[in-house]
Amino acid sequence: MGVILSVELETKNPIDMKYAEEVSNKLNRLLEKNYDAEKNYKFAAENVKSPALKAFFNERAQERYDFGHELKSEIRNFGETPDKGSSIKGDVHRSWMNLKTNLSSNKEEAILEESVRGEKAAVEEYNDVLNDENLPPSTENILMKQRNAITAALNKVKSLEIQAAEK
Protein backbone atom coordinates (compact mmCIF):
# COMPACT_ATOMS: atom_id res chain seq x y z
CA MET A 1 0.00 0.00 0.00
CA GLY A 2 1.61 3.22 -1.13
CA VAL A 3 1.48 6.50 0.68
CA ILE A 4 -0.01 9.36 -1.24
CA LEU A 5 1.36 12.76 -0.32
CA SER A 6 -0.69 15.77 -1.12
CA VAL A 7 0.87 19.14 -1.40
CA GLU A 8 -1.37 22.10 -0.87
CA LEU A 9 -0.43 25.30 -2.51
CA GLU A 10 -0.55 28.08 0.01
CA THR A 11 -3.10 30.60 -1.10
CA LYS A 12 -3.75 33.74 0.78
CA ASN A 13 -7.25 34.85 1.44
CA PRO A 14 -7.76 38.27 -0.22
CA ILE A 15 -9.75 39.43 2.82
CA ASP A 16 -6.83 38.54 5.13
CA MET A 17 -4.41 40.28 2.80
CA LYS A 18 -6.58 43.40 2.76
CA TYR A 19 -6.82 43.39 6.56
CA ALA A 20 -3.04 42.90 6.89
CA GLU A 21 -2.54 45.88 4.59
CA GLU A 22 -5.02 48.01 6.58
CA VAL A 23 -3.36 47.19 9.91
CA SER A 24 0.09 47.77 8.42
CA ASN A 25 -1.04 51.18 7.15
CA LYS A 26 -2.18 52.09 10.66
CA LEU A 27 1.07 50.82 12.14
CA ASN A 28 3.05 52.75 9.54
CA ARG A 29 1.25 55.94 10.58
CA LEU A 30 2.26 55.23 14.19
CA LEU A 31 5.79 54.46 13.01
CA GLU A 32 5.94 57.83 11.25
CA LYS A 33 4.71 59.54 14.43
CA ASN A 34 7.42 57.79 16.41
CA TYR A 35 10.06 58.95 13.93
CA ASP A 36 8.70 62.49 14.37
CA ALA A 37 8.61 62.21 18.17
CA GLU A 38 12.17 60.88 18.26
CA LYS A 39 13.39 63.86 16.20
CA ASN A 40 11.34 66.28 18.31
CA TYR A 41 12.81 64.92 21.52
CA LYS A 42 16.33 65.14 20.12
CA PHE A 43 15.62 68.75 19.13
CA ALA A 44 14.28 69.43 22.63
CA ALA A 45 17.35 67.88 24.28
CA GLU A 46 19.60 70.10 22.17
CA ASN A 47 17.68 73.24 23.13
CA VAL A 48 17.39 73.03 26.90
CA LYS A 49 20.02 73.91 29.47
CA SER A 50 18.83 71.78 32.36
CA PRO A 51 20.82 68.51 32.56
CA ALA A 52 17.75 66.76 33.99
CA LEU A 53 15.60 67.89 31.05
CA LYS A 54 18.33 66.96 28.56
CA ALA A 55 18.46 63.46 30.06
CA PHE A 56 14.66 63.17 30.07
CA PHE A 57 14.35 64.22 26.42
CA ASN A 58 17.20 61.94 25.35
CA GLU A 59 15.54 59.01 27.16
CA ARG A 60 12.24 59.75 25.38
CA ALA A 61 14.04 59.95 22.01
CA GLN A 62 15.61 56.52 22.64
CA GLU A 63 12.27 55.13 23.75
CA ARG A 64 10.62 56.31 20.53
CA TYR A 65 13.50 54.85 18.50
CA ASP A 66 12.88 51.51 20.24
CA PHE A 67 9.13 51.79 19.61
CA GLY A 68 9.91 52.32 15.94
CA HIS A 69 11.84 49.06 15.78
CA GLU A 70 9.01 47.18 17.47
CA LEU A 71 6.51 48.62 15.00
CA LYS A 72 8.74 47.80 12.03
CA SER A 73 8.92 44.20 13.17
CA GLU A 74 5.17 44.01 13.60
CA ILE A 75 4.58 45.53 10.14
CA ARG A 76 6.91 42.91 8.64
CA ASN A 77 4.94 40.21 10.51
CA PHE A 78 1.94 41.33 8.44
CA GLY A 79 3.99 40.85 5.28
CA GLU A 80 4.19 44.56 4.59
CA THR A 81 7.03 47.08 4.29
CA PRO A 82 7.70 49.68 7.01
CA ASP A 83 7.88 53.35 6.04
CA LYS A 84 11.30 54.95 6.16
CA GLY A 85 10.97 58.52 7.36
CA SER A 86 9.28 61.25 9.29
CA SER A 87 6.35 63.28 8.06
CA ILE A 88 6.14 66.76 6.61
CA LYS A 89 3.78 67.55 9.48
CA GLY A 90 6.54 66.54 11.92
CA ASP A 91 9.06 68.73 10.11
CA VAL A 92 6.64 71.66 10.33
CA HIS A 93 6.10 70.97 14.04
CA ARG A 94 9.86 71.06 14.67
CA SER A 95 10.10 74.37 12.78
CA TRP A 96 7.24 75.75 14.86
CA MET A 97 8.90 74.47 18.03
CA ASN A 98 12.14 76.19 17.00
CA LEU A 99 10.40 79.50 16.28
CA LYS A 100 8.34 79.35 19.46
CA THR A 101 11.35 78.62 21.67
CA ASN A 102 13.37 81.41 20.06
CA LEU A 103 10.57 83.91 20.72
CA SER A 104 9.79 82.71 24.22
CA SER A 105 11.28 84.20 27.35
CA ASN A 106 11.22 80.71 28.89
CA LYS A 107 12.51 78.28 26.25
CA GLU A 108 12.21 75.24 28.46
CA GLU A 109 8.57 75.97 29.25
CA ALA A 110 7.81 76.45 25.53
CA ILE A 111 9.50 73.16 24.64
CA LEU A 112 7.64 71.35 27.42
CA GLU A 113 4.35 72.86 26.23
CA GLU A 114 4.96 71.56 22.71
CA SER A 115 5.98 68.17 24.11
CA VAL A 116 2.68 67.94 25.99
CA ARG A 117 0.80 68.76 22.79
CA GLY A 118 2.72 66.13 20.83
CA GLU A 119 2.25 63.41 23.45
CA LYS A 120 -1.49 64.08 23.73
CA ALA A 121 -1.77 63.65 19.96
CA ALA A 122 0.27 60.43 20.12
CA VAL A 123 -1.97 58.93 22.82
CA GLU A 124 -5.04 59.75 20.70
CA GLU A 125 -3.48 58.14 17.61
CA TYR A 126 -2.62 54.99 19.54
CA ASN A 127 -6.15 54.87 20.96
CA ASP A 128 -7.58 55.18 17.45
CA VAL A 129 -5.61 52.12 16.30
CA LEU A 130 -6.38 50.21 19.50
CA ASN A 131 -10.11 50.72 18.84
CA ASP A 132 -9.80 48.10 16.08
CA GLU A 133 -11.42 45.10 17.77
CA ASN A 134 -9.82 42.71 15.27
CA LEU A 135 -6.21 43.51 16.13
CA PRO A 136 -4.20 40.38 16.81
CA PRO A 137 -3.34 40.07 20.53
CA SER A 138 0.41 40.42 19.84
CA THR A 139 -0.14 43.72 18.01
CA GLU A 140 -2.58 44.96 20.65
CA ASN A 141 -0.09 44.15 23.44
CA ILE A 142 2.72 46.05 21.71
CA LEU A 143 0.50 49.09 21.09
CA MET A 144 -0.90 49.10 24.64
CA LYS A 145 2.61 48.91 26.12
CA GLN A 146 3.77 51.79 23.90
CA ARG A 147 0.65 53.87 24.55
CA ASN A 148 1.02 53.38 28.30
CA ALA A 149 4.67 54.49 28.14
CA ILE A 150 3.67 57.56 26.14
CA THR A 151 0.94 58.33 28.70
CA ALA A 152 3.52 58.06 31.51
CA ALA A 153 5.84 60.40 29.57
CA LEU A 154 2.94 62.80 29.02
CA ASN A 155 2.23 62.91 32.75
CA LYS A 156 5.92 63.53 33.48
CA VAL A 157 6.12 66.30 30.85
CA LYS A 158 3.00 67.94 32.33
CA SER A 159 4.58 67.99 35.79
CA LEU A 160 7.84 69.36 34.36
CA GLU A 161 5.85 72.04 32.53
CA ILE A 162 4.16 73.10 35.77
CA GLN A 163 7.55 73.28 37.49
CA ALA A 164 9.01 75.36 34.64
CA ALA A 165 6.04 77.75 34.74
CA GLU A 166 6.53 78.30 38.47
CA LYS A 167 10.15 79.41 37.98
CATH number of residue 103's parent domain: 1.20.1260.10
Range among 6-15, 95-104, 147-156 with highest mean pLDDT value = 147-156
> How far, in Å, are 29, 76, 106, 144 from residue 60 at the CA level?
19, 24, 21, 17
How is residue 12 annotated by DSSP? Answer: -
The residue type of 105 is: S
* Confidence (pLDDT) at 5: 41
> What's the domain range around 30?
14-166
What's the total number of domains in the chain? 1
Q: Is residue 96 part of a domain?
A: yes
Reported as a single tens digit per residue, the pLDDT across 11-53 is 444 457 888 899 999 999 999 999 999 998 998 999 888 999 9
Residue 10 scores a pLDDT above 60: no
Q: Is residue 5 part of a domain?
A: no
19 vs 134: CA distance, rounded Å:
9
Q: Is residue 3 part of a domain?
A: no
Q: Is residue 127 part of a domain?
A: yes
Q: Is residue 1 part of a domain?
A: no
Q: Is residue 95 part of a domain?
A: yes
Q: At what angle do helices 14-46 and 107-130 cross, to 10 degrees?
A: 170
Reported as a single tens digit per residue, the pLDDT across 71-88 is 999 999 999 999 886 555
98 vs 117: CA distance, rounded Å:
15
Q: Is residue 7 part of a domain?
A: no
Q: Is residue 83 part of a domain?
A: yes
Q: pLDDT tier at 92 (50, 70, 90 boundaries)?
A: low
